[in-house]
Structure 1
Amino acid sequence: MNSFTYTRATAVDTAVREKSASDQVKFIAGGTNLLDLMKENVERPTRLIDINHLPLTKIDALPDGGLRLGALTTNADTAWHEEVERRYPLLSQAILAGASPQLRNMATNGGNLLQRTRCYYFYDVATPCNKREPGSGCSAIGGYNRILGILGTSESCIATHPSDMCVALAALAATVRVTGKSGERTIPFADFHRLPGDTPQFDNTLQPDEIVTAIDLPAEDFSKNFSYLKLRDRSSYAFALVSVAAALQLDGNTIKEARLALGGVAHKPWRDPAAEEMLKGQPATEDTFRRVAAKVVEGARGYGHNTFKIELAKRAIVRALKQAAEGMPVTEAFQNSNP
């Protein structure tokens, strides 16, 4: 372990000012991702700023009918919050499908958004990785890449975003509130995380001096017809091979509004607005869902070990949409085979 200094911030403006002093300064709250990265020498901060005492732990109703989630509210407290369970059950179930109870008790909402993307080679400092050392190459493309991306990839990186919570937030069209030296701003969730392109070292669009303060959920009602489906190698404490957050508003059997987001397939939670538009005004049938699934993966690319994900994603989309339409949101599933 490398040496570092530790301080505690009690005000947002103080935290921002101290963070902006150096790019080797990191915020720490639950630490469920950062400490792992430090142990593996992937992250080597010279200073940690403990932000657990900032006043960012509340969940409050918004005037427009939405809900504001404090960035330092734990994942567990968010998932089990009465208003989240009642009005945003898709988010509650996605959170509970992730990690383990112990980790959810420590992990914060803001930290969940800021998890580094997952790749065997990113965590192995003995191998080339463009995320760790830009320009060194991507070991995953020609290596063992079973868990890695099939959508939005580049020649520089095929890592995947690991969060379950973020897939649901993408489907719900949440907004991220941040504060920096220039003041406060809001970021649509679709614009918060990045695709790798030529700069895979950047996972999101947060500026170096900014801190996430809250996540705002819109008032739209997807509390009845929804599903979070997670396909993984074992039934607990495993990242998704493919996950799907599906939410529908129905008029009889006709789809009035639709949301669809995927996890485990890209550098960011993958939402396809064109596919959502295809669902609107259509009957909630398997034929409709199959056409939409084909649209979502039409640009997918496999890299050998992970090519099976293309067909798996199509099937998962159909299954999740059927569950949502039927009002039967089964969330747990695991893949027994070993493609």
Structure 2
Amino acid sequence: MTGRPVLTISGLHVDYGTGSGAVHALRDIDLTLHRGEVLGLAGESGSGKSTLAYAVTRLLSPPGVITGGDVHYHPHDGEPVDLLGLTAEQLRAFRWQELSIVFQGAMNSLNPVHTVHSQLTDVLRAHRPRMKGAERTARAEELLSLVGISRDRLVAYPHQLSGGMRQRVMIAMALALEPEVVIMDEPTTALDVVMQRQILRQLVRLREELGFSVVFITHDISLLIEFSDRIAIMYGGRIVEEAGAAEIYRDPRHPYSEGLLHSFPALHGPRRELTGIPGSPPHLTAMPAGCAFHPRCGKAFAPCSGEVPVLAGRAGDTTRSVACWLHHPA
């Protein structure tokens, strides 16, 4: 991706708990999101995807603790903003204005006793206090139209909307202040495949129209192949491969990436046999030595159980990186 960075994550570490009993949820995460880019983040449940999203947005609940690393937001003009150094008041002003998040499960994210109008305008009231009531309502109507919902649904309560409409309301809320970065944490997981595709098409259209950048988190790598520019694969709290979406699809280098691709049916072309991945993801309290994937990997050999491979690219290749001893011999 040739665009300028809008969000950079360097050496990020997250633990749950402290002292000798701490669980290491994220280890040495390095990621860069470029302007106008869709960066997909894929991996099985428990790989650390949501923890990364909550760490970046400073929404980690106790006992989650960021124990190392840096997260910087790069505005169009001015110096980079250290997100981990912002005060509570600065963070409140920053969220939604520059960076927003769409959580899993829209029904749990929307307040069931308030109308869509109330919840959309609440964001505007908090961040744009000089806006008049009529202006807030007009903006709320505009936001619903952006995501393909009729304006008369403003007076509806969440339980009066379908699952897809509730999810689109959450996307509208995330876009209310025209942020530069939108993080989407498995926003289509509970929806049927038809509604998933509708929402993804709208997301692509909105990205092209408004120019924001997206971090899209999901366990379904087939979704990311369709509309992401780049994909980062997570396993056991680390990134094990990062490359362009087309490169991941054509030539996955990490055995885990290959396993994920063969766990979902192909969307186009000839049918292929689904093989899946044997075994289960490691428990964070009992991580295997060396490469965390080696107990499930059919290509594992001697070095895999001894030392953690570094995420790196091949000589002269700056477009992709992989953490695997098959590509970086010990």
Is TM > 0.5 for Structure 1 vs Structure 2? no
Flag the structure with larger Rg: 2
Q: Which has the higher contact order (CA 8 A, sep 6+)?
A: 2
With the shorter chain as reference, the TM-score category is under 0.3
Higher helix residue share = 2
TM-score, structure 2 as length reference:
0.27
